Structure 1
Amino acid sequence: MDISSHRASNGKIEIHYLISNGQDTSVPLLICPGLSETAEEYVELMTYLSPRKCVVLSFRGRGQSDTPENGYDLQHHVSDIAAVVGDAQLNRFHLYGIFRGVAYALGYMEKHSSGVMSVILQEYPAEHRAMPEGWAKDYINRYQVQFSRQRHIRPEAVRGIERESTQLRLSKGINKKLLVLRGKLEDSLLSDEDCRRYERLCTEASFALFEHSGHDLRHMEKELLYRTIGDFIL
């Protein structure tokens, strides 16, 4: 499998993304990573789904993408997705949002749903969360530094997310086939009410429960996660 690296122009900044150039004619999968994740962290999933074409981006301030001084609210991240969709010439695709990438994926759906064939949302409710004062400092010190993830998301981006993010309840109906991935352990970010809300937003919602995982499905039940995604987008 060949994976190539690209950069999409989004105004004055460039968004880095990867494409697995398989020969499969199936509908591609577009992956929207979580808060501090980069495109490179999803190469293994792209390999698993080969020969299906997959595209994964690093949002602004993450990985090899540019880090602007400002522009870290929902609409800015949605514009990153739109830039990659245009640059990669994705006319039809499945959309997969992980953690905070769920909010970005749903924000994209509110404006650009026509090319999306189905939606996978992992471990996050249908909302875009504002971050409280002091969150950035705590996140940098307790997570970035402790786990050596400064190159995954830069401190400027963390501070921008705290400074600019607005609290939004994403309430537009999802008129696509939807799969919600949920861990069953205590640290899951999805409540029963969050799942009932997804059922209200989408008449074609289904749920995959991971009995031995909380928030982090990929590290706890990776094989089951990959198989569940592959089966859904057949």
Structure 2
Amino acid sequence: MQKKTVNNNGNEIEYYVSNQMNEKATLIVSMGIWEPAERAFPLISRLIERHCIVLSYRGRGGSGTPESGFNWDDHMTDLACVLQNEPINKPVFLGFSKGVSYMLGYLSANLRIAKGIIIIDYPAIHSKLEKGAALFWSNMNYNGYRLDNYVDVHALEGIEHESTYEEFYHIFHEMLCPVWLFRGTDVNSYIPSNLSDEDISKYKSAVKQLEIIEFEESGHMILDEELGKVTRYVKQILKDIDGA
């Protein structure tokens, strides 16, 4: 895994590249609200010889934290800068949680770039956070660690105060690639799924080539709770794109 940085309008963005670009499809990973790039390593490390790119969005991991600029369209510029700095082939985009909205924001301005999209347990929206959300997230513990070990509190405050609501379902009408939607269905999970039945209906109405894959032993945190199953499906999806 090679660590790199790119400058986005004066702010350094940390990202990692696994393997060199080759004839296989490139996997581009967009993680959630508090998650640095390292949170994707358990998945990427299982994709042998696969060219993969994952970034730490502003305020996460080793990336810089600007004074302002924390709406979805600001985050999408981090992804854009990384991809302008790296060669890619047959790109498949994988987004988890709020990283879905940053990914879809980027794709809304690049409608023909994706050869496949994997969405993990999140509606095609960017949400406006409620008052107090930054304090909630910074104080939360997950797997024995406070989340402010991974994300700068100022970034969370910026997301709370600057975020605006945006829907992205409409962009699928103009995109030609298949979409895979991973949904956690364990209602007793500590962190339940972020997808409602209404969200599923919206995806079905918007996406022509949609496959919904259910994860019965997971709530929202599918990448942790069923990593083996995620890996099997991601490998098959990438293999299908390789041969397309």
Q: TM-score, normalised by structure 1?
A: 0.94
Which residue, out of 223, 227, 241, partners 1:222?
Answer: 227
Residue equivalent to 1:96: 94
Q: How many aligned positions are there?
A: 231
Shift of 1:230: 1.1
Give me the whole-angstrom Cα distance separating, in 2, the residues matched to 1:23 and 1:35. 28
Residue equivalent to 2:165: 167
Give me the whole-angstrom Cα distance separating, in 1, the residues matched to 2:88 and 2:6. 13
Moved over 4 A (4+): none
Shift of 1:91: 5.3
**Does the 8 A contact of 2:137 with 2:147 survive in 1?**
no
CA RMSD of aligned residues (A): 1.5
Give me the whole-angstrom Cα distance separating, in 2, the residues matched to 1:113 and 1:32. 17
The change in CA–CA distance for 1:201 and 1:155 in structure 2 (over 3 A counts) is: same
Q: TM-score, normalised by structure 2?
A: 0.90
Shift of 1:151: 3.0
Cα displacement string for residues 142-193 of structure 1 (whole angstroms, at most 9, x for unaligned residues) = 348x733323111010100001000112232322210000000221111111
**Does the 8 A contact of 2:13 with 2:63 survive in 1?**
yes
Shift of 1:139: 1.9
Structure 2 residue 218 is matched with structure 1 residue 213 = yes
**Does the 8 A contact of 1:34 with 1:98 survive in 2?**
yes
DSSP-derived class of the 2:119 partner: strand
Residue equivalent to 1:59: 57
Give me the whole-angstrom Cα distance separating, in 2, the residues matched to 1:57 and 1:199. 29
Shift of 1:8: 1.4
Identity level (%): 30
Which residue, out of 171, 192, 196, partners 2:197?
Answer: 192
Shift of 1:215: 0.6
* Gap regions ≥5 residues in structure 1: none
Q: Answer with 27-36 or 134-143: which moved more.
A: 134-143
**Does the 8 A contact of 1:110 with 1:172 survive in 2?**
no
Residue equivalent to 2:83: 85
Give me the whole-angstrom Cα distance separating, in 2, the residues matched to 1:22 and 1:45. 17
**Does the 8 A contact of 2:2 with 2:16 survive in 1?**
yes
**Does the 8 A contact of 1:136 with 1:159 survive in 2?**
yes
